Amino acid sequence: MNVVEIGWGQLLISLLFILLAAGASLFYRLKMERDLLVGTIRTFAQLALVGYLLQFVFDLHNPWLILLLYLWMLFWAAHAIRGRVDESKVAILGPTFVSMAVTFTLITLFVTSAVVQVQPWYTPQYFIPLGGMIAGNAMNAISIALERLFKSLREQRAEVELILSLGGNWQESCLRLRRDAIRAGMIPSVNAMMTVGLVSLPGMMSGQILAGVDPAQAVRYQILVMLMMVGATAVGTLIVVNLALKRCFTRYQQLRL
Amino acid sequence: MELIGCRGLTLQRGEVLLLEATDLSIKTGERVLLTGPSGCGKSTLLRHLCMLEPGGEEKISVKGKLLADWAPAQLRRCVAYLPQTPVMLEGSVRDNLCLAFSLRVSCAPLPGDKAMREELESLDLNISLDTDARNLSPGQKARVALLQRLLLKPEVLLCDEPIAALDEQNAALVARLLERASLEGMAQVVVSHQPLEGFQGRHYRFVSNRLEPAA
């Protein structure tokens, strides 16, 4: 099957969708015209830039450069997590980045080399999108888990300090809290496994089908992606929550928050 | 011989000074009452003495050893802290009374049901050990929380408003229980705005960031 290509000219026609939204905005005075304009321009610019970059990356044959690029992506994921969690008393950027870097690089490496078995393992067409999906999904999970963790540490301070004051260590003082935070982070990706295919067709699979890949093949890729994301989310959330939790306590087993 | 004391301890809340450099020394079995307006730092002082509040670990010593040199768990077994609002964890009264014995630091056996029931009765608590601890009244919680500490036989007990939530009769019971523990050799630092029945010991007041002996 041939892929029908879209040219820049055809894209201009799709600007009609924006005009439609802008018309609605004007009619109902939603005052979103400006955002629509900026958003449209950014979409064009950012994606064009990324396309150009990807072209460049796909020509790379140096595993170190590809790993470096992946670390760069993970750094921005960790940065976004810190921004969303917004915790001033505990530094989380460092531990988040380091644990994401180690675990997600290993997981992506495992997926490309052992599951997909692409030669060589760092082939950027596989490594970067697979790793990127892991990072994007885990970024949401980790922010949810950390937000929950800090919120419940503040709310249940009395319970935590009760156990500390009876001679418990920091792990004992927040067993429940930790479990709840990790669960909160994992629930979305587990739920996604429940509804995938029923409620929505995942973007990656749709993309492959549009690109002319045999649907059965696209489905197998999507299954791999779902499983991979659940595993990466679980491991990433677990490690980051533990590292962050440890930083909430002083060496004298005192709650810092 | 000093059991617990501080040298040059200052207290701050954010940038605000609560207590100027203060010395305090408490011997085995001694009782100290702290009073002062709310927000003056009484509770913060208690929290420092059991190392729950960060800071001051080099200024406070217990049994001649600075807090910084203690293992926190061991220290808190020796210096028990009863907060103003009693906290019950999910579970039965038995679970809550046994909580401290199930922690890693503990090497003592779990207290038996019979012993726990007797202790509850001595505090005029006629409740089953299986009662959900979170459904207790504030007054009952206060007594269960006190018992939770006393079962550990600490050498120092820091009490923050132990009778504030209790009616007259129960306040008298708790005061007697504290007195009995003190006679058995437990040092106590009590923050209270009400007079404690039968209290024998030193009394300090927080006055303009200083700890002054009260008459």
Residues of A in Cβ contact (< 8 Å) with B67: 252
Query: In which band, very low, low, confident or very high, does the pLDDT at B14 lie, cut at 50, 70 and 90?
Result: confident
Pairing outcome for strands B187-191 and B31-35: parallel
Q: How far apart are CA B20 and CA A217, in angstroms?
A: 74
Q: In terms of CA atoms, which chain A residue is nearest residue B57?
A: A252
Same domain (yes/no): A217, A106 = yes
Considering the domain architecture, whether residues A85 and A201 belong to the same structural domain is answered as yes
Nearest-angstrom CA–CA distance, A124 and A115: 16
Note whether A52 and A160 are same-domain residues.
no
Q: Could you say which of A158, A161, A253 has the minimum Cβ distance to residue B72? A: A253
Position B206 scores a pLDDT of 87
B45, exposed or middle or buried, with CB in 10 Å at 0-12, 13-18, 19+? buried
Q: What angle do CA B204, B208, B211 make, to 5 degrees?
A: 25
Tell me, yes or no, whether A255 lies in a domain: no
Nearest to B50 among A163, A165, A256 (CB): A165
A254 is a domain residue? no
- Letter string b/e over residues B163-184, b meaning 16 or more CB atoms within 10 A of that residue's CB: bebbeeebbbbbbebbbebbee
Tell if the CB–CB gap between A166 and B100 is shorter than 8 Å: yes
B99 — contact with chain A (CB < 8 Å)? yes
- B143 part of contact set with chain A, CB < 8 Å: no
Shortest distance between the Cα of B163 and any Cα of chain A, in A, equals 19
Question: Is residue A234 one of the residues assigned to a domain?
Answer: yes
**CA separation for the pair A53, A129 (Å, rounded):** 13
Task: Tell me how far the alpha carbon of residue B75 is from its chain's centroid.
Answer: 13
Cα angle B48, B52, B53; round to 5? 60
pLDDT tens digits in sequence order for chain A, 257 residues long: 567 888 888 888 999 999 999 999 999 998 889 999 999 999 999 999 988 988 888 888 889 999 999 999 999 999 999 999 988 889 999 999 999 999 999 999 999 999 999 989 999 999 999 999 999 999 999 999 999 999 999 999 999 999 999 999 999 999 999 999 999 999 999 999 998 888 778 888 888 888 888 999 999 999 999 999 999 999 999 999 999 999 999 999 999 88
- When pLDDT is averaged across residues B95-111 and rounded to a whole number, the result is 90
Q: How far apart are CA B28 and CA B87, in angstroms?
A: 28
Structure tokens at B134: 């979170």
Minimal C-alpha gap between B176 and chain A (Å): 23
Indicate whether A43 and A107 sit together in one domain: no
Q: Is A175 on the interface with B (CB under 8 A)?
A: no
How many domains does chain A divide into? 2
Residue ranges of A 3-32 with Cβ closer than 8 A to chain B? none
Quick check: A112 and A51 in contact, CB under 8 A?
no
Is A257 part of any domain?
A: no
Q: Are residues A12 and A83 in the same domain?
A: no
Q: Is residue A256 part of a domain?
A: no
Q: Do B83 and A158 touch (CB under 8 A)?
A: yes
Q: Quick one: average pLDDT of B52-78? A: 92
Same-domain pairing of A19 and A119: no
Q: Which fold has domain B2-213?
A: Rossmann fold (3.40.50)
pLDDT for the residue numbered A112: 94
* Residue A252 domain flag: no
Residue A159 identity (one-letter amino acid): E
Q: Are residues A38 and A150 in the same domain?
A: no
* Closest C-alpha to B157, from B84, B80, B85: B80
Whether residue A209 is found in the same domain as residue A84: yes
| Residue A120 tokens, joined | 């060589």
Whether B54 sits inside 8 A of A168 (CB atoms) is no
Which residues, in sequence order, are bridge partners of residue B19? B11
> Average pLDDT, stretch B2-7?
92
Asked whether residue A232 is assigned to any structural domain, the reply reads yes
Q: Are residues A16 and A72 in the same domain?
A: no
Asked if residue A197 and residue A153 are part of one domain, the reply reads yes
Instruction: Look at the block and give the residue holding tokens 């980051």.
Output: A240
Domain, as residue range, for A29: 1-59
CB contact under 8 A, B83 and A161: yes
Residue-wise pLDDT for B123-170, tens only, equals 888 899 999 999 998 888 988 999 999 999 999 999 999 888 788 888
Q: Which chain B residue has the Cα nearest residue A170?
A: B73
Cβ atoms within 10 Å of B193's Cβ, excluding its own:
12
Same domain, A31 and A102: no
| Same domain, residue pair A155 and A41 | no
